[in-house]
Amino acid sequence: MAKTQVSDVIVPEVFVPYIIERTAEKSRLIQSGIIASDSEFDSLANDGGRTVNMPFWEDLSGDDEVIKDDAPSVPDKITATKDVAARVMRVRSWKYNDLARHLSGDDPAAAIGELVAAYKARRMQAQLLSVLTGVFGAASMAGNQLDLHITSGGGSPTLDNVLDGSSFIDAKQTLGDSKDLLTAIMMHSQVESLLLKLDLIDFVPDSTGKAMLRTFQGLQVIVDDSITTETVDSKTVYTSYLFGQGAIALGNTRDSSPVDGGFGTFELEFSREALDHDSIMIHRWGNILHPRGVKWTDSSVADDTPTNAELATSANWSRVFENKNVRIVRVRSNILA
């Protein structure tokens, strides 16, 4: 006897692209331009392998020569090197019971479909924060950092130890003549509250003229309390990140091949535990979420794909672009008591 199943209602080949699109709509990072969804990175993400190589030519350098009639020019060389990205694979599954569906009068499968995009946007943000922790733990990224916080000697933080208009200029200057490429800043709500007290946060309408966007010195503000704090000299240290447009490249994997012996595809599979009256939805996805110009070394990874903790490990990262061409700056500061 034929019957309608969840797999008939939610079509994997339609559901997965929809979720990718909806995740982008809900991600403040993508909407701000920090993360750029890149078709080239989509292709790289689908090429297979645990890492992705991206060769590039180093810039030309050295002085020009004076033309002489008695001496030849001395040829220089152009050098190729490579950026490397990690390919991350993830899975999440949800189980729901027939009785719960009947008693609630609602469809759990439909609710999961509605909520999963926002969930993935949050997980993408957590993944990025892990990446940034690892990247700025690497010694090669020292030139892209500004530490304002108290380091020794006790006492209470002063304006010299906080992020404000003056120290913001210093932070931008770490990128030299590339500083005008910065477009957004991510900060903890405590840092935002201090800037509000200093009357340094502006509110401007978005492109639709409806929602109000927060800006600080012309940069769009993204507030996220999941940014890790530290304790230095018994004082809480808050991290803020300044980003340039497209500083993080995003590529999404796609695998709509049917699963053997099951229902659905690799990306979206359905399972049934009939005696328990339970249905299971399994969603698998992969991506490349890569800070342009900072190579993934893959030197400390236990399994086939890195965990967030391994993404946060400094030994797994090394800068390959010039400092000012890595469009990310980290600022560590206190707040006023």
Domains of the chain by start residue, with CATH:
6-57+80-333 (3.90.1690)
pLDDT for the residue numbered 223? 92
Question: Residue 310 burial by CB count (10 A; 0-12/13-18/19+): exposed, middle or buried?
Answer: buried
Helix, strand or coil, per DSSP, at residue 327: coil
Here the tokens at position 159 are 């304006």
Helix, strand or coil, per DSSP, at residue 270: strand
Taking each helix axis from N to C end, the angle separating 108-137 and 12-26, rounded to the nearest 10 degrees, works out to 50
pLDDT for the residue numbered 8? 45
DSSP E strands, the chain: 35-37, 51-57, 80-86, 88-97, 145-147, 182-187, 201-205, 212-216, 219-223, 230-232, 235-244, 248-252, 263-264, 268-273, 278-291, 294-296, 317-319, 328-333
pLDDT in tens, 97-145: 777 666 666 666 677 777 888 888 889 899 999 999 999 999 999 999 9
Q: What is the mean pLDDT of residues 19-37?
A: 78
Q: Cβ distance 12 to 256 under 8 Å?
A: yes
Neighbouring residues of 82: CB distance < 8 A, sequence distance ≥ 6: 53, 54, 55, 56, 295, 320
- What band does 78 get if pLDDT is binned at 50, 70 and 90? low
pLDDT for the residue numbered 159? 93
CA dihedral for 99, 102, 105, 109, sign (positive or negative) = positive
Here the tokens at position 157 are 């933080």
Instruction: Give how far Cα 146 sits from Cα of 27, 154, 187, 253, 276, Å.
Output: 27, 20, 14, 35, 56
pLDDT in tens, 213-236: 889 999 999 999 989 899 998 899
CA pair distance 81, 19, nearest whole angstrom: 36
Q: What is the mean pLDDT of residues 46-67?
A: 71
